[in-house]
Structure 1
Amino acid sequence: MLNSLLLTILICIIVCVIIMGIVWLWAKKINNAGVVDIFWSFNFPVIALLLLILADGFQTRKWLICGMVIIWGSRLGTHLGRRVIKHLHEEEGRYTQLRKEWAPKADQKFFTFFQAQGLSNVFLSVPFFIITQNKEPELSIFEFVGLGLWVIAILGEARADWQLDQFKKDPDNKGKLCDTGLWHYSRHPNYFFEWLIWISYFIFALGSPYGFLAIISPAIILYLLFKVTGIPATEEQSIRSKGELYVQYQQTTSAFFPWFKRK
């Protein structure tokens, strides 16, 4: 069983780093590193498909968790893809800033960055590896609770993305900040629901042996959102583009939790 799991992990690593290598070549050609976000999302459905084929756990459980991952990753990747493709030759501000900071070796550093993203796909998939190895023929309460929370979270994330898209489509909103719907209560409701999705995977994994180890995934996602590529980079770019308007928005809204509105 251990050898089979290690082989599965190794195959997932090889596939993800190859995908990210190809994506880096494309990004280098079009001078737009933002495409990495699209394929970081799509790599999770790829891993899920590999687990459907390679993992030897209970089939119903495998199909359930892999279906959840495929739906979530495909929706997120498609959403990001539409956004990036619209401005394919105009790199997002976060990556433009990195390109400046990493000059004159930006291409080499972006290659390392892309490969790290591919490895992170596999590392963050700890819950999926644990769950798809579970041969217990009955689903547990943890798995039903995890599924229920996942439904709420993915609908919330999709709602937040839709609200922002609708706001941006209105030409009257050019230069303005989206502060309607969920965005009225949180500066990053999409990030919040994204994290909640990872919490649902952790809860689902608790129904399997060693499922507690899956806590590493939502913990890392939370750290990345608050300290690395999520909120800090996004807000720095928003301040650069919106200035005082965004600073005022920061002062009246929660950075993360949608139900906490500042006075």
Structure 2
Amino acid sequence: MAPLLSTLARGISPTLQWPVKFCLYNAAAAYILSIITGNVSQVDRVWTFLPTIYTAYYALLPLWPNQPRLFFFPYVPETVHPELVQRFSPRALLMFGLVFIWMCRLTYNTWRRGLFNPNDEDYRWAILRQKIPTWLFQVFNLTFIAFIQNIILFLLGLPTQIAAVQQPDKLSTSDYVLATLALIDIAAEFVADNQQYSFQTYKRLGVHAQNEWPGARIKWTPADAKRGFVTRGLWAWSRHPNFFCEQSFWVIINLFPLLAPEWPSHSVVSPNSSFIPLWPLAPALVLCTLFFSSTLFTESISLSKYPEAYRAYQKRVSMFVPFLTPVWGLLLRLTGQKEEVDRLVYGQDVDKDKTQ
């Protein structure tokens, strides 16, 4: 495999050579481990780390040697433009800092849910196994679970690669605005995670957890537990506020180099270019496509478990964008369905004025 990777590397940008090799090795390792263990959630366990590793590589280009010191050790080929390894890009460093904070949040949430357990597997894969033939699931495992997911994680680092190539002297107004939005987004996703975890704890144990997480000090009721899924807090505005924030975060990261004054005409590698390529939008577009398709599958499972209540939830609350939820409420009011839908979604013990 190494000679093949070396051949492929010679045909791509020097700053992408190590990340591409790292991505393909990880994909191969994920597939091999899934066959050995019978558990296909190998990528899930490193999802929280890989985008940060790719981002760190681009943001810290001046630190890496020209040759790998150890297997998997990052390096920068001698063919890389000299200016890229002489000083750090402040924009790339800022993006790395934000992605590192994102990693800390996701790692904590993954840890407390027990998903780092080697025996744990995403429940959706078990359901998919039952729906399709074994041979087709293994094809899906090889192509999508192992390789395509790793490629998506590789793509999430590309905006930082563009920022590193731009080599700005200082941060611009757009950098400060986007950084603020990214931090707000991470905080909102942390609250959504806390509310979901708090609800699931109450649903499983029947009592409120002693630890109260920020944004999750909600007094769950037996009606909430009987319903089976969370519809309060941020979840009253979006059926998947955590997914909405996740997609929003990577869209924001994608916009850093694209809204910068240096884009697209000023960069170290291709100065004064008047051509505006579309490929830099790929990371955000691919991730949003993945989340949309994955959410459809997740909701089909929820709908099979709670057919009446979850169908009402879909009518009442937007899938992602919270600003659309009041519109759905207005449409239900106009059709005379709002009172019944609210009863199913929010429960009879909820003040109707709070569901307007």
Query: In structure 2, which of residues 152, 159, 162 is the aligned counterpart of residue 127 of structure 1?
Result: 159
Q: Does the 8 A contact of 1:62 with 1:131 survive in 2?
A: yes
* Structure with the higher helix share, 1 or 2: 1
Aligned AA for 1:209?
A: W
Secondary structure of the structure 2 residue equivalent to 1:41: coil
TM-score under structure 1 normalisation? 0.85
Aligned partner of 2:75 in structure 1 is none
* Structure 1 residues 61 and 86: CA distance shift in structure 2, 3 A: closer
Aligned partner of 2:150 in structure 1 is 118
Q: Distance in 2 between matches of 1:187 and 1:69?
A: 25
Aligned partner of 1:148 in structure 2 is 180
Aligned AA for 1:150?
A: A
Structure of higher CA gyration radius: 2
TM-score under structure 2 normalisation? 0.65
Query: In structure 2, which of residues 42, 45, 49 is the aligned counterpart of residue 42 of structure 1?
Result: 49
Q: Structure 1 runs of 4+ off > 6 angstroms?
A: none
Matched, 1:103 2:134: yes
Pairwise CA distance, 1:64: 1.2
Matched, 1:159 2:191: yes
Pairwise CA distance, 1:175: 6.4
* Structure 1 residues 86 and 123: CA distance shift in structure 2, 3 A: closer
Aligned partner of 2:33 in structure 1 is 26
Aligned AA for 1:204?
A: F
Q: Does the 8 A contact of 2:60 with 2:93 survive in 1?
A: no
Q: Distance in 2 between matches of 1:87 and 1:58?
A: 37
* Structure 1 residues 99 and 217: CA distance shift in structure 2, 3 A: same
Aligned AA for 2:159?
A: P
Pairwise CA distance, 1:190: 0.7
* Structure 1 residues 174 and 67: CA distance shift in structure 2, 3 A: farther
Aligned partner of 2:73 in structure 1 is none
Aligned AA for 2:128?
A: L
Q: Does the 8 A contact of 2:39 with 2:119 survive in 1?
A: yes
Structure 1 residues 57-86: Cα deviation after superposition (integer angstroms, max 9, x where no partner)? 644323211111222134224423543538
Q: Does the 8 A contact of 2:55 with 2:161 survive in 1?
A: no
Aligned AA for 2:95?
A: I
Q: Does the 8 A contact of 2:124 with 2:298 survive in 1?
A: yes
Structure 1 unaligned blocks of 5 or more: none
Aligned partner of 2:168 in structure 1 is 136
User: Percent identity of the aligned residues?
Assistant: 26
Q: Distance in 2 between matches of 1:58 and 1:90?
A: 40
Pairwise CA distance, 1:106: 2.9
Pairwise CA distance, 1:147: 0.4
Matched, 1:79 2:143: no
Pairwise CA distance, 1:108: 4.4
Larger relative contact order, structure 1 or 2 (CA cutoff 8 Å, min sep 6): 1
Higher mean Cα deviation, 72-81 or 119-128? 72-81
Structure 1 residues 177-206: Cα deviation after superposition (integer angstroms, max 9, x where no partner)? 111100011101011111211221133212
Aligned AA for 1:48?
A: T
Aligned partner of 1:187 in structure 2 is 239
Aligned partner of 1:69 in structure 2 is 99
Higher mean Cα deviation, 92-101 or 143-152? 92-101
Q: Does the 8 A contact of 1:32 with 1:91 survive in 2?
A: yes
Aligned partner of 1:253 in structure 2 is 317
Matched, 1:217 2:245: no
Aligned partner of 2:20 in structure 1 is 13
Aligned AA for 1:16?
A: C
Q: Does the 8 A contact of 1:40 with 1:121 survive in 2?
A: yes
Q: Distance in 1 between matches of 2:32 and 2:113?
A: 20
Structure 2 unaligned blocks of 5 or more: 1-9, 63-83, 207-224, 266-275, 330-356
Higher mean Cα deviation, 178-187 or 83-92? 83-92
Aligned AA for 2:234?
A: L
Aligned partner of 1:202 in structure 2 is 254
Q: How many residues align?
A: 259
